[in-house]
Chains A and B, each alone.
Chain A
Amino acid sequence: MADQTLNAEGLNCPLPIIKAKKALKGMSAGQILEVRATDPGSVADFAAFCKQTGNELMSSSSEGDIYRFEIKRA
Chain B
Amino acid sequence: MLDTQNLDNAKSMSIIVTKGSLDWAYPPFILGTTAAAMDVEVTMFFTFYGLTLLKKDLNLKFTTLGNPAMEMPMMGMHMPMPNMMGMVPGVGAAAGKMMKNLIKKKGVASIEELREAAIESEVKMIGCQMTLDLFEYDRKDMIDEMEIGGAATYMEKALRSDINLFI
Task: Give the interface of A toward B (CB within 8 A).
Answer: 10-15, 17-18, 20-22, 25, 39, 48-49, 52-53
CB distance B108 to A18 under 8 Å?
A: no
- Shortest CB-to-CB span from B158 to chain A, Å, is 21
Q: Quick one: which of A10, A11, A18, A49 has the most chain B CB within 10 A? A: A18
Contacting residues of chain B (143-166) with chain A, CB-CB under 8 angstroms: none
Q: A12-B106, A18-B33, A49-B38 are in contact. List 20 more A-B contacts (CB 8 A).
A: A10-B107, A12-B107, A12-B109, A13-B30, A13-B108, A14-B30, A14-B34, A14-B109, A15-B107, A15-B109, A17-B34, A18-B117, A20-B37, A21-B37, A21-B38, A21-B121, A25-B1, A39-B107, A49-B37, A53-B39
- The range of chain B's interface size is 10 to 19
Say what secondary structure dominates the interface of chain A: helix
When C-beta atoms are compared, the residue in chain A nearest to B31 turns out to be A14
When C-beta atoms are compared, the residue in chain B nearest to A11 turns out to be B107
- Shortest CB-to-CB span from B32 to chain A, Å, is 10
Taking the complex as formed, is B120 at the interface, i.e. its CB lies under 8 A from any CB of chain A?
yes
When C-beta atoms are compared, the residue in chain B nearest to A14 turns out to be B34
- Shortest CB-to-CB span from B29 to chain A, Å, is 9
CB distance B34 to A52 under 8 Å?
A: no
Task: List residues of chain A with CB within 8 A of the CB of B108.
Answer: 12-13
When C-beta atoms are compared, the residue in chain B nearest to A51 turns out to be B38
A55 to B93, alpha carbons, bound, how many Å?
Answer: 44
A14 to B27, alpha carbons, bound, how many Å?
Answer: 11
Q: Quick one: which of A17, A21, A22 has the most chain B CB within 10 A? A: A21
When C-beta atoms are compared, the residue in chain A nearest to B34 turns out to be A14
A21 to B37, alpha carbons, bound, how many Å?
Answer: 6
Task: List residues of chain B with CB within 8 A of the CB of A52.
Answer: 38-39
